[in-house]
Structure 1
Amino acid sequence: MTKPPEDDEFRVVTWNIEHNGINNDGDDARWHLAMDVLATLKPHVLLRQELTRADMFGARAVWAEAARLGGHAAFLAGATPESANPTGVYVDRNLCRPTEFFEHRTGMWHPVCNPVVRLKGAAKKLSLASVHLCSFDPATRASEAKRIATLGRPGMAAIVGGDMNSYPHRPSNRHPLPDWSRIEDRSHFEARTIERDGKRISDTLPDEILAGEYEGRPPVFVELGHYAATELGQAGALEPTSPLWRTDQGTRQQIDRIYATPQVADALTGLEVIVTEEVIEASDHPPVLATFSLSGLRRALSAEPVPAT
């Protein structure tokens, strides 16, 4: 598909910036570097994870980030006793008019940050969600994925992205799932595997819940990396993301993913995993950029929903 002109683009980025780009000694150079990267990507929607302690001091870190993005509207989910790394969403006020804000809690891990917006020129609302699934418990991740699936009920339109701490259920031939016999970190093994048919395998269950078919029924969401690779011919859309910094947990995997309801996914024109020297210095996860046709997205958000069969 031919890339649309820039004025017909709607850009969505998901990015887990490790500990909000702030080191233990308070040095925030990585945050400033990350903001420079985002300035080049110019996201209309930014789905953020690990906004570490950004709720403190009147949420000044959130407002500083919104300002660096050009004055985007900002939404922050709450921190929890289990984690001081909340999720957040930033939206371009010139294109997106916020109408509601929801915070979905499934336990003591990261709540889902879920503003709802009305895209300028569109009749129907678009739900946006930043997610950071549990890092240590596959059962919690499955529960979180089922909660997220409610954002894709019939008639709803949504874009969901974040750090899934799990694996795609249709792995790329170029990037096979981890070989657990080669990974000595037993804690990581327990955190990232599930039991199936008496064997321990990589946890792909969240992706199966969100983007898997069941007995011929269509998925709740479309995983946009897979869509871009298979429908748009962009093999690079399946490039792995995390970890950028560690070498003791196996090869990099497609941990950071973006999902959309089918009518929204049809407006996708491209997906790219952004890995540069600046990105690697800023965080252990790279940003993932999904680009939509703005006019196509408006049409999708104006059409009548197709009844489920």
Structure 2
Amino acid sequence: MSQADDEFPVVSWNVEHNGTDNKGRAERWDLAMDVLTQLRPRVLLRQELTRADMFGQRMIWAEARRLGNHTPFLATATKESANPTGVYVDRDLCDPVQFFDHRTNLWHPICNPVVQLMDAPTPLSLASFHLCSWDPATRAREAKRLTILRRPGIEAILGGDCNSEPHRQHDETANPTDWGQVEDRALFEARTIERDGRRVTDTVPDEILAGEQDGQPPVFVDLAHYAATELGQRDALDATASLWRKDQGPRRRIDRIYATPRIAEALIRVEVIVNDEVIEASDHAPVLATFSLSGLRRALSADEGVKAA
């Protein structure tokens, strides 16, 4: 097997309002699809699939056709937000066996198909999420909900817009946000919490998902941090948003992909894709995590733990 044939790319991307404007024009969506067809993801985790549930889910099927032989899954849009999450899986490698639409007390329901990868015995749970943009308490609750994806007998890859920052501020490439320099005061209210009598950057969701608690290993591995610290890829920690706004301070790494530890060991590299086409298409950069396909098969064939029913 060649190196290219052994690669399994996973992309997470928030395409602002699904690349459409308020008149329904989709020039940015078309440009985003050009970007994605170049990245050739085997799994695509999407956020802000605005109104993609309309007209018989026409937009997600059009996106699936542009990607190739992909099957789309769409979470429920809510009264509060018409921007659901979605997942696309390449049927050449991923055989869907279950689909969950986690929606209880969440700002955006979590899109969560489960697949069998090339007949590997252990299922692989895939999830696209979009944590609440305005309330830290809701984000923490949503992160807690994501932890159920790591249950016995199953592995997971999940990614999305965290609307909050990584908790390991000391070994990130960017300095912690100086909120006194941020003009958008609504963002200050949305992205900070009170801790020890001070307002500080909200890192709680990442602490829940990828933090070590009481000496115990994390629930998931932040793949960009793993790539930077274990694989020597410091540019994996590049910022992802906002590519457009100038009043929100410097760009931050709020878009992240996580995986269960065994899956993380199959990681080859993580890239944040920023170019002229990406900046025109969305205010967020796509995050590309490339795995070894043979490594994934080994991870999903390991005879450990309780197998899923």
TM-score range, shorter chain: over 0.9
Distance of 1:145 and 1:207 partners within structure 2: 8
- C-alpha displacement of 1:214: 0.6
- Establish whether residue 59 from structure 1 lines up as the match of residue 57 from structure 2: yes
- C-alpha displacement of 1:152: 1.3
Distance of 1:112 and 1:131 partners within structure 2: 5
- C-alpha displacement of 1:25: 2.3
AA partner of residue 180 (structure 1): W
Distance of 1:306 and 1:292 partners within structure 2: 22
- C-alpha displacement of 1:153: 2.6
- C-alpha displacement of 1:210: 0.2
Question: What residue number does 2:191 align with?
Answer: 192
For the residue of structure 1 that corresponds to 2:284, the secondary structure is: coil
**Greater CA deviation, 102-111 or 290-299?**
102-111
Equivalent residue in structure 2 for 1:124, among 122, 125, 150: 122
AA partner of residue 75 (structure 2): A
Distance of 2:150 and 2:73 partners within structure 1: 20
Distance of 1:97 and 1:5 partners within structure 2: 23
Residues 177 and 253, structure 1, Cα contact 8 Å, conserved in 2? no
Question: What residue number does 1:112 align with?
Answer: 110
**For each residue in 1:251-287, what CA deviation from the matched residue of structure 2 results, as whole angstroms up to 9, or x when unmatched?**
1000000000000000000000000100000000010
When residues 175 and 88 of structure 1 are mapped into structure 2, their CA distance, relative to the original with a 3 A threshold, is: same
AA partner of residue 305 (structure 1): E
Summarize the alignment of residues 65-80 of structure 1 with structure 2, pairs less than 5 Å apart: 65-80=63-78
Residues 106 and 147, structure 1, Cα contact 8 Å, conserved in 2? no
- Establish whether residue 222 from structure 1 lines up as the match of residue 217 from structure 2: no
The total of aligned residue pairs comes to 304
For the residue of structure 1 that corresponds to 2:56, the secondary structure is: helix
Question: What residue number does 1:95 align with?
Answer: 93
Distance of 1:209 and 1:85 partners within structure 2: 24
Distance of 1:159 and 1:173 partners within structure 2: 22
- C-alpha displacement of 1:54: 0.2
- C-alpha displacement of 1:176: 1.3
Question: What residue number does 2:34 align with?
Answer: 36
AA partner of residue 237 (structure 2): L
For the residue of structure 2 that corresponds to 1:66, the secondary structure is: helix
Question: What residue number does 2:159 align with?
Answer: 161
**For each residue in 1:57-103, what CA deviation from the matched residue of structure 2 results, as whole angstroms up to 9, or x when unmatched?**
10000100000001300100010001000000000000000000001
- C-alpha displacement of 1:155: 3.3
Question: What residue number does 2:299 align with?
Answer: 300
Residues 106 and 143, structure 1, Cα contact 8 Å, conserved in 2? no
- Unmatched segments (≥5 aa) in structure 1: none
Question: What residue number does 1:19 align with?
Answer: 17
Question: What residue number does 1:138 align with?
Answer: 136
Residues 82 and 108, structure 1, Cα contact 8 Å, conserved in 2? no
AA partner of residue 34 (structure 1): A
AA partner of residue 262 (structure 1): P
For the residue of structure 1 that corresponds to 2:57, the secondary structure is: helix
Summarize the alignment of residues 41-52 of structure 1 with structure 2, pairs less than 5 Å apart: 41-52=39-50
**For each residue in 1:150-195, what CA deviation from the matched residue of structure 2 results, as whole angstroms up to 9, or x when unmatched?**
1113432000100000000013453112101111322111100011
Question: What residue number does 1:209 align with?
Answer: 208
AA partner of residue 112 (structure 1): I
AA partner of residue 238 (structure 1): L
Question: What residue number does 2:272 align with?
Answer: 273
Runs of 4 or more consecutive aligned structure 1 residues displaced over 6 Å after TM superposition: none
Distance of 1:296 and 1:31 partners within structure 2: 33
- Establish whether residue 290 from structure 1 lines up as the match of residue 289 from structure 2: yes
- C-alpha displacement of 1:108: 5.1
Question: What residue number does 2:255 align with?
Answer: 256
AA partner of residue 235 (structure 2): G
Distance of 2:268 and 2:107 partners within structure 1: 33
Same amino acid, percent of matched pairs = 68
For the residue of structure 2 that corresponds to 1:142, the secondary structure is: helix
- Unmatched segments (≥5 aa) in structure 2: none
AA partner of residue 216 (structure 1): G
AA partner of residue 181 (structure 1): G
Distance of 2:100 and 2:19 partners within structure 1: 26
CA root-mean-square deviation: 1.2
**For each residue in 1:101-154, what CA deviation from the matched residue of structure 2 results, as whole angstroms up to 9, or x when unmatched?**
001113251100000000004111000000000000000000000000111134
